[in-house]
């Protein structure tokens, strides 16, 4: 029987996406081994979530380092003790250095609250509303040196409701994230999806566009 993919989850805050991973592993819908939860913030509630689930935790505060590169070297040294085969960025509020990305090339996933390549960066929900877009959602993608620019794996999308606020839209999009992020990570962990030659490959074929899941109702999603 093949061993499960060793996975590290990196957080900075409450860890709602982390909880989605924990729940998916516990209910058997996600076949990953969550080997460590790492945070740059010792007060992150996500560390408590990990401890409650029996997952080892680690914390290094970025403020203790002179620059991003020295912090990232310390993070690499800590994570490598757990031999991760996959890194999940789940609200990790640090921009990764090129050396960090290169060290884990093709092994880092992120989720961005927009239908990339639309709206990289911040304030995506308000930008969608300001543009009058009909659809919004989140994108799971491989991490490269280009911010929010790595190959896309899976998108979850929903229709924008008339008159809803940015906060209301953000809540609905977050519910989608809790579904699509573990699913996409499972694809990578199983080898169905791989990063090769700077591109996303699915079942041995180059995927020029991400898979898309459409949600018309997000009530009941966690």
Specify the CATH number for the domain of residue 5. 3.40.50.170
Question: pLDDT, tens digit, for every residue of 8-30?
Answer: 999 999 999 999 999 999 999 99
Between CA 149 and CA 200 the distance in angstroms is: 12
Query: What is the DSSP secondary structure assignment for residue 97, as one 8-state letter?
Result: P
Question: Of 71, 104, 137, at which residue does a domain stop?
Answer: 104
- 129 in the same domain as 55: no
- 63 in the same domain as 127: no
Counting residues of the chain whose pLDDT is more than 70, the rounded percentage is 96
Going by C-beta distance under 8 Å and a sequence separation of 6 or more, which residues neighbour residue 44?
11, 12, 13, 14, 15, 59
Whether 112 is catalytic is yes
Name the maximum alpha-carbon separation found in the chain: 52
- 173 in the same domain as 143: yes
Q: What is the mean pLDDT of residues 51-58?
A: 98
Question: Of 52, 83, 104, at which residue does a domain stop?
Answer: 104
In 24-148 the beta strands, taken as DSSP E runs, fall at 32-39, 57-59, 86-89, 108-112, 135-142
- Residue 3 pLDDT: 82
The tally of domains found in the chain comes to 2
Strands 108-112 and 86-89: parallel
- 184 in the same domain as 79: no
- Reply yes or no on whether the pLDDT at 158 is more than 80: yes
**What SS3 state is found at 93?**
coil
**From 112, 125, 141, 178, active-site residue:** 112
Q: Tell me the three-class secondary structure of 152-220, residue by residue.
A: EEEEEEEECCCCCCHHHHHHHHHHHHHHHHHHHHHHHHHCCEEEECCEEEECCEECCCCEEEECCCCCC
Question: pLDDT, tens digit, for every residue of 132-147?
Answer: 999 999 999 999 999 9
| C-alpha 1: how far from chain center | 27
Between CA 54 and CA 11 the distance in angstroms is: 16
- 211 in the same domain as 145: yes
- Reply yes or no on whether the pLDDT at 71 is more than 60: yes
φ and ψ at residue 207, rounded to 5 degrees: -100, 105
Between 2 and 100, residue with greater pLDDT: 100
* pLDDT-derived band at 203, boundaries 50, 70, 90: very high
Show the tokens assigned to 28.
Answer: 């058997």
Question: pLDDT, tens digit, for every residue of 109-124?
Answer: 999 999 999 999 999 9
- 99 in the same domain as 118: no
- 116 in the same domain as 70: no
Nearest of 133, 97, 99 to residue 114 by alpha carbon: 133
| C-alpha 217: how far from chain center | 22
Question: Of 58, 76, 104, at which residue does a domain stop?
Answer: 104
**Structural domain that includes position 123:** 111-222
- Residue 164 pLDDT: 96
- 32 in the same domain as 67: yes
- 138 in the same domain as 184: yes
- 211 in the same domain as 117: yes
- 130 in the same domain as 32: no
- 136 in the same domain as 96: no
In 41-102 the beta strands, taken as DSSP E runs, fall at 57-59, 86-89
CB neighbour class for 159 (10 Å; exposed up to 12, middle 13-18, buried from 19): middle
């Amino acid at each position: 029987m093949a061993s499960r993919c060793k996975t590290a989850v990196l957080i900075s805050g409450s860890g709602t996406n982390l909880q989605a991973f924990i729940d998916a592993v516990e209910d058997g819908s996600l076949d990953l081994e969550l080997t460590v939860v790492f945070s740059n913030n010792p007060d992150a509630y996500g560390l408590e979530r990990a401890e409650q689930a029996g997952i080892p935790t680690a914390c290094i505060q970025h403020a203790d380092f002179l620059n991003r590169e020295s912090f990232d070297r310390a993070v690499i040294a800590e994570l490598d003790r757990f031999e991760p085969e996959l890194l999940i960025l789940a609200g990790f509020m640090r921009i990764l250095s090129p050396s960090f990305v290169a060290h884990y090339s093709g092994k880092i996933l992120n989720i961005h609250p927009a239908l990339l390549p639309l709206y990289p960066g911040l304030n995506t929900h308000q930008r969608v509303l300001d543009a009058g877009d009909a659809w919004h959602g989140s994108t799971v993608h491989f991490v490269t040196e280009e911010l929010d620019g790595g190959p896309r794996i899976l998108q979850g999308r929903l229709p924008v409701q008339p008159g809803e606020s940015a906060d209301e839209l953000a809540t609905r999009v977050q519910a989608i994230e809790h579904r699509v992020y573990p699913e996409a990570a499972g694809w990578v962990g199983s080898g169905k999806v791989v990063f090769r030659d700077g591109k996303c490959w699915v079942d041995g074929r180059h995927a020029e566009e991400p898979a898309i899941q459409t949600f018309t109702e997000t009530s009941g999603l966690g």
